[in-house]
Amino acid sequence: MMQDVVARTRRPICSGLALVIAIGTAILSVLLYTGGLGSGFEGFGPMLMGIVTGVIGAPIVVLLSLAGQLRKERPVWMAVLPIAISLANIVWLLAVR
């Protein structure tokens, strides 16, 4: 009976939430950023909001992914993929000008 409880893996709650937030912030920041390109001064607001969305979302995703790793949630890829998505989003936002 006790071995069944110990052997049970934890459901990916934090990792799943991190994955949803990473995908959402990546899509939102890219749409906001690219929507402001070529619009002159009026497009500066959406571009800035795209950058802010990506920069605020990345630490939240990293913390949730680390919480998933500390909880030993399985599958592990579900905690690693959001970090990769967030890093790719930040690199893309810094590279596109």
pTM: 0.82
Domain membership flag for residue 88: yes
73 - beta bridge partners?
A: 10
Please check whether residue 30 lies inside any domain of the structure: yes
Q: What is the pLDDT of residues 5-59, one digit of tens each?
A: 555 667 889 999 999 999 999 999 988 888 877 777 777 888 888 889 988 999 9
Torsion of CA 90, 95, 96, 97, to 10 degrees: 110
In a domain, 5, yes or no: no
Task: Note whether residue 8 is domain-resident.
Answer: no
Asked, for residue 36, whether it belongs to a domain, the answer is: yes
Res. 90: pLDDT tops 70 = yes
Q: Does 60 reside within a domain? A: yes
Given a contact cutoff of 8 angstroms between Cβ atoms, the answer to whether 7 and 70 are in contact is no
Structural domain count, the chain: 1
* Residue 3 domain flag: no
For residue 7, is it within any domain?
Answer: no
Question: pLDDT for 57-67, tens place per residue?
Answer: 999 999 999 99
> Residue 89's domain spans which residues?
13-95
User: CA 55: distance to chain centroid?
Assistant: 10
Q: How far is CA 31 from CA 4, 37, 89, in A?
A: 47, 10, 12
